[in-house]
Structure 1
Amino acid sequence: MDSNKDEADRCLEFAVQFILDGQCDKAEKFLQKAQKLFPTKRAEDLLSKLAMKTKQNPKSEGEPELRKRHSISKDGSQTQQSSNDFTKDQIEAVKKIKKCKDYYEILGVSKDATDGDIKKAYKKLALQLHPDKNKAPGAAEAFKAIGNAVAVLIDPEKRKQYDLYGSEEERVQNAHNRQTHSHYNYTRGFEADITAEELFNMFFGGGFPQQNVYVRRGGGRWARQADAQTQHAHAQQTNGYTAFVQMLPILLLIVLSMMSSFLISDPVYSLHSNAKYSIQRTTQGMKVPYYVKENFHSEYQGSLRRLEISVEEEFVNNLRQACYREKNYRETMIWKAQNFADRDLLWRAQNIETPSCRKLQEMQSA
C-alpha cells in the first residue's frame, strides 16, 4: 500500500538522521520498522552496514566523531563527508520552519502583509533553504513549506479562505478527528498549481543548476531524479493489482473533494440583517454596517481588518451595480419619452432619482 511505503520512507529518513547523529540503536529500530512496513533494498543495505559498523566499533553509539567521518548516501552507500556540507545556521533555519504554526509565521510576516512583503520574505528564505544549496536534513521539506505558504498568501481568494477557515487539508483533517491539534504539518502536499521548483524559478528566473532535480511522486511527496527513475523501473514490473493501488490516491482526492463541498461553512458576515445574522457591526473605515452571528467573537479567529476590507469592497460593488441599473432605467425612460414626443413623460424621466449613485458619489468624495 502507498500509505505503508510513505511511512517506511519516513522511517528511513529518521534512521539516516540517527546514523548521522551517532545513535545507532535508534537507527536500527527505525530501519527494522521500515522493513516491516515496506521492505526495500536500501533499508536492507543500511541494516547490514549498520550491523557491520557496530561489530567493528562497539563504542560508536553516541560517538561525536561519527558525524564528522562518515555519512550515508541516498543509495545506502557509506561515503566520506566533511562537516562543512551544511552549517549550523542552515540547520537552525530548517528547525525554525518546522516549528511554525501557520503560513504567516513560516514566512515571518504579519497577517496584514502586502504581496510585496510576502514575495520579499519568500525570496530571502528560498535562497537559504533550496535543497541544492542547503544540505541540512529536512531542507527539502522546509523548502516545500515556504512554497506552500507563498502559493496561498499571494492568491487573493486562497488567502481570504485561509484567513477565515485555515488550510483546506487542515479543515478536512479536523472534521474527521474532531479534536484540537497542537501542530499541523504545513509541508504535506502542495497547494499551488505548479511544483515548488517551478515556483522558485518564477521568482529567480532559472534558479540553481539542476544537478539535483526534484520530481513529484503520486502521493504528493518529493524525490530526487535518481529515486524517480528507480521507482519508474519498479513500476514497469508491477501487475494489475499494483496499478489499482496506485489509483487509490486519486480516488481519495476525489472523495476528499466531495467531502469538502459538504464542509463549506456559512459566510462570516452579511450586509443584511436576518435571524441568523442579528448582531450589527460597523467598519472603521467607511462606516459600513454589517451583521454577524452571535458567536462571532468566540468563533472568528482571522484578521478583523481584512474582514472589514472585504465588507467594504462588497458594499461598494453592490452600490455600483445598483447605480448602473438606476442610470440604465432613467436613460431608457428618456429615450421612450423622446421617441413618443411626450414632454410630460420626458420631464418625469429626467427627474428619476438615483439614490445608489448619489450614495456612491458621497462615499468617494468623503
Structure 2
Amino acid sequence: MEVNKDEADRCIELAEKYLTEGQKDKAEKFLLKAERLFPSQKAKDLLARVSAAGEGDTANEAEDVPRKRSRSNTTTPPRRVAKEQKEDGAGAAPAGADYTQDQKEAVSRIKKCKDYYEILGVSKEAPDGEIKKAYKKLALQLHPDKNKCPGAVEAFKAIGNAVAVLTDAEKRKLYDLHGSEEERISARRRNHGHQEYNYTRGFEADFTAEELFNMFFGGGFPNQTVYTRRNGRWQRNTDEYQQTRQQQQTGGYTIFLQMMPILILIVLSMMSSLFISDPIYSLHASPKFPVQRKTLNLKVPYYVKENFHTEYQGSLRRLEITVEEEYVNNLRHACYREKNYRETMLWKARNFGDRDLFTKAQNIRTPSCDVLNELQGRA
C-alpha cells in the first residue's frame, strides 16, 4: 500500500542518516524495517553496503561526524536544528512496540473525540465527498493490519460508524437532531476523570468496519458480495445471499410438506367433532335429559330427552344393555375407592394403636359395594 511505501522511504532516510553518523546497527535496523514494509532496490543496496563495510570505513565515517556536525551547527539556525531533530524522532516506534508514535497519537485522538464529525475531522456542513476523503485517509492509518497500536481496532470501527452514518441522509439527519442528547445520556463515559468516546453509541453501521473499508478501497468481498447504494442506503446483492434465500424458501416448503399429515389429522378431528351427535341418555337428571326411565332387567334408572320416543330409532333393548353396563362399571369403580379408603383408615389405626380410629374405620360404609352386591343378587 502507498502508506507502507511512504513509511519505508522514511526508514531509508533515517538509515542513511545513521549510516552517515557511523551508527551501523541502527542503520541496519531501519533498512530491515523498510524491507518488511515495502521492498525496494535502494534498501537492498544500502543493506549490502552496511554488510560490506569494514572497520576502516566505520572509523573514517566516525572521524567525519564532528566536521559534519560543526558545519550543520554553523549553517543551520538553532531553532531549525531542534525542529529537524524533533521531526526525526516523531515517527519512531516506542521501545519494544511494533507501531509508530504517529499511529499511537491517531488512536489517542479518536478516543478523545465527542462525535462523528470530530472523528473524521470534518465540519457539520461537509459534503459526502469530503467525508469519504477523510475516511480514506484515516482508514489507511488505522487499519488493524497496518496499525498494531492498542485501541486501533476500536478506532477503526469508530471511523467506520462515522462514515456510514454521515453518508446516509436519513441517519445523518437523525444524528444531527439527537446526537447531543445521546452524548449526555449514554455516549460518553467517565474513566479516571477523562471523557472518552463510546464506540457503540449512536446509530450503528449496516456493515462491519472491514466491509466498509473494502467498499471504499475496492477490496475483494468474500463470497462475491456486491454493494450498491440505492435511495441513500447501502444494499448488498450476493450470489450466496440469493442462494441462501432460495434454500430458506425450499426449506419452508419442505417443512410444510412434513407438517401436512399432522395438519390433515387436526382438520379431520375438528370435522369429526362437528358430526358427533348428542348422547341418547344420561345416568343423571339434567335440563337436557329430564325424562326418567328404567331398564327392564336390572331396573337401573336413566334419563332421556323429551323427544326420545320420536327421535330415537334404534333398538331399545340394546340401549338398556348399554345403560346397565355403564351403571355397573361406575359402581365397581366407586366400590373400589370406598374399600381402599376403608382399608387405609384401618391400617392407620393399627399403626398408631388408636382404638377409637379403628372403631370408626370399621364403621365406614361402602354404599356402592352394597348396591353392586344387590344388583348381582338380582341377576
TM (norm. structure 2) is 0.30
| Structure ranking higher on relative contact order (CA contacts 8 Å, 6+ apart) | 1
**Higher gyration radius (CA):** 2
TM (norm. structure 1) is 0.31
